[in-house]
Amino acid sequence: MLRAADDLLVERGFAALTMEGIAQRAGVAKQTIYRWWKSKVDILLDTLSEDAREALAWQPGEDDPEEGLKRHLRRVADFFEEPAGQVMRALLGHAQLDEETAASLRAGFLREQRERDVAGLRALLARGDGPGVDERTADRLVDLLLGPLYHRVLVCGEPVDEELVNTTARLVVTLANDAPGL
């Protein structure tokens, strides 16, 4: 059912996505869908959380922090182009118009992903020659790390290029090393 919701969103867009369409694509009765989810937003939130848990996970590696950040930012950029990234973009857009969706998105997926991003960034920076960063600093650095990508994709409607990835990674590592306690 989650995959059916993903596929239909990509094919038809958020406005045309219906519970009936999801049920038909999944080959189940509409009542089955309603037993688990009350709306298409709830289904999309679940599919986003499931897909992002793996796709946006921080990967351990032996490279230096800047290379590790570049690798992670490329994964985030790739995610935006995948069906799961399109689900995220649709939900973020809908959240601008619907407070219940915004609250659910913030309390669930966005909070969980933020926690993973802060922990992942801290672990990556601890591998470098610098002093590492505390949780508060990492929280601020996550904004600086991911903000440019979200802006490029969500506001400008453009793909993330290699120059943005490289520049962002370099600046975040520099700030982490030179300005503890941002």
Residue 180 has pLDDT above 70, yes or no: no
Structure tokens at 96: 């601008």
Average pLDDT (97-118) is 96
Could you please report the per-residue DSSP string of 76-126? HHHHHHSHHHHHHHHHHHHHTT-HHHHHHHIIIIIHHHHHHHHHHHHHHHH
pLDDT digits (tens, 9 = 90+) for 154-164: 999 999 999 99
Q: What domains are there in the chain, each with its CATH number?
A: 2-178 (1.10.357.10)
Average pLDDT (71-79) is 96
Collect contacts of 171-175 with beta carbons under 8 A, ≥24 apart: 171/144, 172/69, 172/141, 172/144, 172/145, 173/65, 173/66, 173/69, 173/125, 173/128, 173/130, 175/141, 175/144
With H, G, I as helix, E, B as strand and everything else as coil, classify residue 159. coil
On average, the pLDDT of the chain sits at 91
Residue 131 has pLDDT above 90, yes or no: no
164 CB-contact burial (10 Å; exposed 0-12 / middle 13-18 / buried 19+): middle
Predicted TM-score (pTM) of the model is 0.87
More confident residue, 181 or 65: 65
Structure tokens at 135: 């949780």
pLDDT at 41: 92
More confident residue, 2 or 180: 2
